[in-house]
Structure formats: C-alpha cells, structure tokens
Structure 1
Amino acid sequence: MSHGRAVGLMVLVTLMWSIAGVVTRHLDSARSFEVTFWRSLFNALALLVAFALMRGPSLVQRIAQGGKALWFSGLCWTVMYTNFMVAITMTTVATVLVTMSIAPLVTALFARLFLHHRLPARTWAAIGVAGIGIAWMFGRQALEGGSSLTGILVALGVPLAGATNWTLLQHIQQRQRRNPDAPEPDMLPAVLIGALGSAAITLPLAWPMSASAHDLSLLGLLGVVQLAIPCLIAVRVARVLPAAEVALIALLEVIFGVLLAWVGADEAPGPTALQGGVLVIGALLGNELLALQRRRSGLA
C-alpha cells in the first residue's frame, strides 16, 4: 500500500468514526453504558462474521497463537471503546474532547521513546498547531461547563491506550522488517478481543436496558459502520503510516463529528469551533503536503 493511499484510508476511517455523535442524537431511550454495550456487542458480532469470511476456522488458532502482543493490543481496544463513553458520564463532552486531543503528542513521544523514531520538525509543528486548534474549539466550553478530575483521568485512558496500540503495531512492523523470514503475527483479531471486552465490562452497568427497536437499529449501524469496518482498516493502515501520523490524522474525527452534528442534528458550531477546525485541517494538510514534496524530491 502506498503512503498516499494509506493517508486516504485513514481519513475515511476518521469519517466513519465521526458518525457516532450525530447517530446517538437520534436515539429514543438508550443512554450511557447501554449505548456502549450495544455498540460494542454489534461490533463484536460484525467482526465475528468478517473474521469467519477472512480467516475461517483458523481464527481460534490465530488468537490462541497470537501471544502477549495480540492480547495487549486487544486490551488497548477495550479501553478505547469503553473509556470515552464512561468519561462522558462524568464530565462534559468538551472536556473529554480536549483531553483526547493530546493523542498525537503522546503517540509521538511513545514512538520516540520506545521505537527511537526521529520525527521531522513538520510533524511536531503540525501536532502543536492541531492541538491548539482542538483546544480553541472546545476549551471555552470546557471551562464554562466545569470539569471533573475523575472524568478527565478516565478520558486520558483513550489517548494513552491509542498511543500504546499504534506504537505496539509500529514495533511489530519494525521487527518484521528486521527479520522478514519470521512469521508475521496477525493483529487484526485484537479488534475483536477489544469489542468483546468492552461489551463484557459494560453489560452489568447497562441495566436496566431501555433501548427501543429503533435504537437497536442505530446502534447496530454504529457497531458495524462506526467501529468494526474502520477499526479493521486502521490496523492495516498502521502497518504503513508512522504511529504519530496515524494519531494526527485521527484528529479529523473531531472536525467531521462537529460538521455531521451540524448537518444531521442542527447543532451549529460556534465561531471558535470553526476557527479551531481551520487550524486542525490546515495543520494536517500542511504536514501531508510537505511530506509529499519531500518524497518527490527524494529527501524522505
């Protein structure tokens, strides 16, 4: 897969991830942990079907032989699937989004510390500008709405788990390049492990359930289109793009989410949200255009 195609697929992934907000605005009665449970359960069911087609009977054997890396990645997916919704129940959405905006910086630091990656100055600059843009979008709302320290700590689990997961996947690819004759571990089942873990954790907290048939259809859509498909693509893309670049592009989820809520749920963004969005998109485009220019000139 070329770098350009990987970037395009990652942008598509963020678009699919971003539909959660606008879809949940149309739920009748399902709330909080019940939303997380049904979404994770439908995600797991969709992944089971996908893996049955892709891996067949060998799926169980692949999971059994996956080793610590597979299960650790699955734990990261569980945290990412679960912590966002749990944090939302403890503090404001704006506070959670601001907290999650540190993901590219944490991922870059993890890649530098554990993989000894030397990131170009343009990527560090893009991370900084994008972080400022996200903070500008939601910072005022977070301050006005108040914040819970516990909620912030729970929300921190999302960027920390994401950074750990992307760094782990990069490490596996790095090791594979050094020893191409060694069997390559199959990390895709980690997404399924994460979905099952999230559903198991939130099931006791989801009672009493109140989701209508309409709610279940929307949550089924989220489980398949917003989680299962894009997460499988993201694991594949992480084999091509640097971990910091994956996390940086993932910030587009916030921008797409705001725009979709505006179009589909009449939640018009304020001027600060629009200004911050311009900063984020500008940082992403600048980073990718500079990378393309350097690749064409043979310098990177």
Structure 2
Amino acid sequence: MKLTHSKAVVLMVVVTLMWSIAGVVTRHLESARSFEVTFWRSFFTVVSLLVILPAFQGRKALVDSIRQGGAAFWASSVCWSIMFTAFMVALTLTTVANVLVTMAIGPFLTALLARIFIGHKIPLRTWCAIAMAGVGITWMYAGQMDLGSQLAGTLVALMVPLAAASNWTVVQHNRAHGKRIDLVPSVLVGAVISSLVTLPLAFPFAATPHDVGLLAILGLFQLAIPCVLSMLCAAVLKAPEVSLLGLLEVIFGILLAWLGAGEVPGTSVLTGGALVIAALVVNELIGWRQRA
C-alpha cells in the first residue's frame, strides 16, 4: 500500500480513534474481568492477525520473519505482550483517563531509555518537558493516594509505556547495528504470549456471549487492524508527527468513556494530564521546527 503524507495523516487519525475504543467498550462488559478480558482480546487479536498478516506479507514471509527474528525479535514480542496484558488489566482497575494519561508519557520514557542504553543525547528542551510531565504525573498520582485500587491500576498502566519504550530501544539498537526487526510479526507473537500467559489466570471463565462478542471486536478493530495500519503510517510520517497524532488516543478515549459510559475524569487527572500532553506537544513542535 502506497501512502501519500496527507493520506498517512488521515489514516493515523483513524488508527488513534480505533485504539481509543477499548475503554468505553470495556465499560459495557457484563461479567468478564481482569485477566479473562485480556485473554479474550489477545486471543481474537491472534486469530485476526493470522488472517491479516499472510494476506499482507505472504505466509512464507511471515514464517521466515518469525524464524529468523533472533533474540531482539523475541524481546520485542515480550514487550508487546506486556503492553497488551497491562493495558487491559489496568482498564479493569482504574479509569480510562488514568490509563491513557499514564501511557502518554511513553515518548519521555523512550528518550530516557535511549539515553541510558543507546547513548542518544537528550536536548535541553526534552529534559524540561520530562520534568514538566513528571510534575503532571506526580500530581495525578497524588490525587489517588487515598484510592487504593485507582492507584494500583495507574501503576499497572505505567507498565505499558515502560514496555513500549523498551521495545523501541531494542529496535533502534538493532537497527544501529544493521539488523532490522519486522515489528508486525512481533505483534502477532506478543499477542500469542499474552494469550498463553493469561489463559490459566482467566479461569473460571465468566464472560457471557455478549462479553466475548465485544472482546472479539476489540481484538480485531482496536488492536489487530490499527497495529498493522500504524506500521504503514510510521513508514511515511516522521516520529514527531506520529507522537503528536498518537495523543489523539488520549483525547478520543477520555471523550468516548465520558459520553459512552458516563465516566467523568477527576480534576487531578485532567490537570495532570494537561501538563503531560502540553509538555509533549511543545517538545515535539520545537524539535520539529529545529529540524526543519
């Protein structure tokens, strides 16, 4: 699929909208909880990708990518599995807004890990942005100190940007040494790992047919399809553009949970989240202008 820049932007907006439906859909589950929610979504992601990827890449190319992936490929797959698992578990423990705002600090964690493990230099503007985002996250966490489950859910959600930053660092380290990791098959393997790990923890199953149907929708339309489309967009768009457009998931997700499930975000989440998003927007826009 050949994408122009404008089409990639529009497609990335659609991708963030698809990603953002997880919170509101989860709020309409009848009886499925915690690890069972994660298992069914990951399971249906595997089923969907087993149909989509061979059509996209060819069965042989897909199998070869997995066989020849090496240690970095499997490390990336484990990171994907952590992201898939922690995200859904966090949604069952805390609000959609808490989860999405916590995930928004991913670019800053990525910058820090890249500095530590790869030696990438962090410009002063990014250090300032990291400090500003840190204040926002601290403010958000402080507002939840008296809400045990809310804080626990937010801490679980923190595993998502940590795993994402680790994933990016592994990929960039290998590319710097002339090795390329095909991220799309690693998404499939990550979903397989997530399914296998959460299956024993999901018993006894409590999901109704209604729940299974909703989680099948998430597996296909919230994870499998947008993950593949985001890789196509990333091949056309620059990193700052992807980061900025990715913030739409936070906005869409909070609005959908608010309008579709009556989940009103708390004041500390709104103010802390505003600081995090403002820090990322300012940092990326300044960096974009400097490169231009």
| TM-score bracket relative to the smaller structure | 0.7 to 0.9
Q: Output the amino acid matched with 1:75.
A: V
- Does residue 275 in structure 1 map to residue 271 in structure 2? yes
**Pairwise mapping of residues 90-129 of structure 1 onto structure 2 (< 5 A)?**
92=94, 103-129=106-132
Deviation at 1:214, TM superposition (A): 2.0
Partner of 1:206: 202
For 1:64, the equivalent position in structure 2 comes to 67
Deviations 1:162-193 (A, max 9, x none): 111011222233334xxxxx8x4433200000
Calculate the TM-score normalised by the size of structure 1.
0.79
Assess, with a 3 A threshold, how the Cα gap between structure 1 residues 114 and 51 changes in structure 2: closer, same or farther: same
SS of the residue 1:143 aligns to: coil
1-structure distance, mates of 2:156, 2:276 = 24
The question of 1:55 aligning with 2:57 is answered: yes
In structure 1, what residue type is equivalent to 2:167?
A: N
Q: Work out the CA distance in 1 between the residues paired with 2:222 and 2:273.
A: 21
Cα-to-partner distance string for 1:225-277 (whole Å, 9 max, x where unaligned): 221123334455666755x9967875654443222211111112233333334
2:160 match: 158
Q: How large is the Cα RMSD of the aligned pairs? A: 3.5
Matched, 1:294 2:282: no
Counterpart pick for 1:41 among 40, 43, 48: 43
Checking the alignment, whether the CA contact within 8 Å between 1:3 and 1:241 is kept in structure 2 is no
Q: 1:30 to 1:150 in 2, by over 3 A?
A: closer
Between 36-45 and 268-277, the greater mean CA deviation after superposition: 268-277
> Percent of aligned positions with the same letter in both sequences?
55
Change (3 A) 1:34 1:47: same
Q: What is the match of residue 73 of structure 1?
A: 76
- What runs of 5+ residues in structure 1 fail to find an aligned partner? 177-181
- Which residues of structure 2 form unaligned runs of 5+? none
Contact kept in structure 2, 1:101 and 1:131, CA below 8 Å: no
Name which of 171, 182, 188 aligns with 1:186. 182
Do the aligned partners of residues 247 and 172 (structure 1) sit closer, same or farther apart at CA in structure 2, a change above 3 Å counting?
farther
- Distance in 1 (alpha carbons) for counterparts of 2:149 and 2:183: 36
CA distance in 1, matches of 2:122, 2:13: 21
Higher deviation after alignment, 28-37 or 78-87: 78-87
Contact kept? 2:104, 2:250, Cα under 8 Å: no
Partner Cα distance (2:267, 2:150) in 1: 26
Structure 1 Cα separation of the partners of residues 279 and 84 of structure 2: 27
| CA distance 1:13–1:125, change in 2 (3 Å) | farther
**Equivalent residue for 1:179?**
none
CA spacing shift, 1:246–1:73, aligned 2, 3 Å = farther
Q: 1:212-251 maps to which residues of 2 (within 5 A)?
A: 212-235=208-231
Deviations 1:52-104 (A, max 9, x none): 10122212222111222111111111111113344566x65588677656543
How many equivalent residue pairs?
Answer: 287
